[in-house]
Amino acid sequence: MKSSYNSNLTYKDLLESIIFLKNPKKIIEFGILDGFSLQVFSSKKDCQIEAYDIFEDFNGNGSSRDVVEKFKDYKNVSITYGDFYKKFLEIEDNSVDIIHIDIANNGDVYQFAIENYIKKLKNDGLLILEGGSEERDEVEWMKKYNKKKIKPYLESLKLKWKNIGNFPSITLINKI
Ligand SMILES: C[S@@+](CC[C@H](N)C(=O)[O-])C[C@H]1O[C@@H](n2cnc3c(N)ncnc32)[C@H](O)[C@@H]1O
C-alpha cells in the first residue's frame, strides 16, 4: 500500500520547516527577485531579515525596486542594495542564524559562500543555497556560459551538507 507520506511538498514547505526547526533571530538573504523566499522568511515576526540584491545591475532577470514597496509594512524586513561579492566585509563574524543565497548560483558562488560567509554564521547556523543537484548543474545557462558545476564541488567538501529535491533543488550546509 502506498504511504500517504509518499507525495510532494513544495520549496515553500521546506523553507517553512527550516524556519520552524531553527527558530532564527537573524536571517540574511542574497537574491530577492520578486520576494518569494523573502515572503516565507518574513512571516517569522521575531526574526530580523536583511535582504540584499543588486537590482538593475544584474545582467539577467534582476529584482525590481517594486519589491521594496511590497515589503514596506514588514517591520522585521530590510531590503537594500548589496552585492554578495562585497557585503561579507560588513557583516560581523558569528552573528547570523541563516544565510540564504540565491543569485544565479554556480560552483564558484558556492565556493565564495563557503570561503566568506560560513564564518558569519553562529556555530549552529545554516547556509541555504539554491541548486546543487545533478539536474540543476545541467541547466541551459550553466552550460552556455561554461559555469563551474555545483555538485562535484559539494562532493569535494569536508563540511556537512544535504541537497534536497531534483530541480532546482536546495542545499543546506551546517557551519559545524
Ligand atoms: C533567482 S533570483 C532570486 C529568487 C528569489 N530568492 C525567489 O525566491 O524568488 C536571483 C536574484 O539575485 C540577484 N543577484 C544577482 N547577482 C547578485 C549579487 N552579486 N548580489 C546580490 N544579488 C544578486 C538578481 O538581481 C536576482 O534578483
Task: Give the pairing type, strands 161-164 and 170-174.
Answer: antiparallel
At 16 the three-state DSSP class reads helix
Write down the pLDDT at residue 2.
86
Q: Which of 53, 96, 93 is nearest to 71 (CA)?
A: 53
C-alpha cell at 24: 532564527
Is the pLDDT score of 147 beyond 80?
Answer: yes
Write down the pLDDT at residue 101.
98
Nearest ligand 1 atom to the CA of 29 is: 6
Ligand 1 contact, 30 CB (< 6 A): yes
Q: Which architecture characterizes domain 11-174 according to CATH?
A: 3-Layer(aba) Sandwich (3.40)
CB 101 within 8 A of CB 27: no
Ligand 1 contact, 58 CB (< 6 A): yes
Render pLDDT for 2-37 as a digit per residue (tens, 0 to 9): 899 998 999 999 999 999 999 999 999 999 999 999
Q: Residue with the nearest Cα to atom 22 of ligand 1? A: 53
Write down the pLDDT at residue 28.
98
Whole-model pTM? Answer: 0.97
Q: Residue with the nearest Cα to atom 26 of ligand 1? A: 62
Ligand 1 contact, 103 CB (< 6 A): yes
How far is the centre of ligand 1, averaged over its atoms, from the C-alpha of 66 (Å)?
14
How far is the centre of ligand 1, averaged over its atoms, from the C-alpha of 87 (Å)?
14
Domain ranges of the chain: 11-174
Which of 11, 16, 43, 53 for mutating ligand 1's site (highest number of atoms within 8 Å of CB)? 53
